[in-house]
Amino acid sequence: MTSFRDQLRPLVMEALIHEPTVLASGRLSSFYFDARMVTLRPDGAYFLARHILETVPADSYDAIGGMTMGADPIAASVAALSWELGTPKTAFIVRKTPKGHGRRKRVEGPLAPGARVVVVEDVTTTGGSALDAIRAVEAEAGCEVVRVVSLVDRQQGAARVFDEAGYAFSPVFTAEELGIGREEIDAEARPGESGAPLR
């Protein structure tokens, strides 16, 4: 029987773009995963949510979310399907900056203090965005982060950063598993060395 991960693979491969692109980390890269072309299509959202629900033990966490906006469709899909499967998980969103009005929160969603949470990302490079989300969830919501899950790990430092910080990391795919050679993965330049658009 074909796994949900196997069904995800061709969708992720379609979202792989070989062109110079500046990443959220500030690095210039020769390849780019346009992950929202996967997480915002119905089959991609379903396959990824089912994969997460099958591979992260249901009794190990209470909620799932991460930094807007890459994490938003993943968390929402997992939350919706978890209800149908009888293992309901709350979704949450971490804003890049505190809301400028109302309760001025960074973390949005019905999170209970002490909840065990999974932080998700669509694509992970250095791990900086996920760590920012982790700090916000721990400090503002008083939650315990039990795992970080990413659709694609570009293998450019995030795994080591999470390990050193004491967080389990479970990428669905690594760049090498998707056919990117180690030489290309390592051939990152600093921003400003090309006229590539910011992505």
pTM summary value: 0.90
pLDDT for 194 equals 34
pLDDT for 136 equals 97
Distance of CA 49 to the CA centre of its chain: 12
Tokens 């250095």 correspond to what residue? 126
pLDDT for 12 equals 98
pLDDT for 188 equals 65
pLDDT for 185 equals 87
pLDDT along the chain (199 residues), means of 10: 96 94 81 96 98 98 97 98 98 90 86 97 95 96 97 96 97 96 74 34
Domains and CATH numbers, the chain: 4-186 (3.40.50.2020)
User: Exposure of 170 by Cβ count < 10 A (0-12 exposed, 13-18 middle, 19+ buried)?
Assistant: middle
3-state SS of the chain? CCCHHHHHHHHHHHCEECCCEECCCCCEECCEECCHHHHCCHHHHHHHHHHHHHHCCHHHCCEEEEECCCCHHHHHHHHHHHHHCCCCCEEEEECCCCCCCCCCCCEECCCCCCCEEEEEEEEECCCHHHHHHHHHHHHHCCCEEEEEEEEEECCCCHHHHHHHHCCCEEEEEECHHHCCCHHHHHCCECCCCCCCCEC
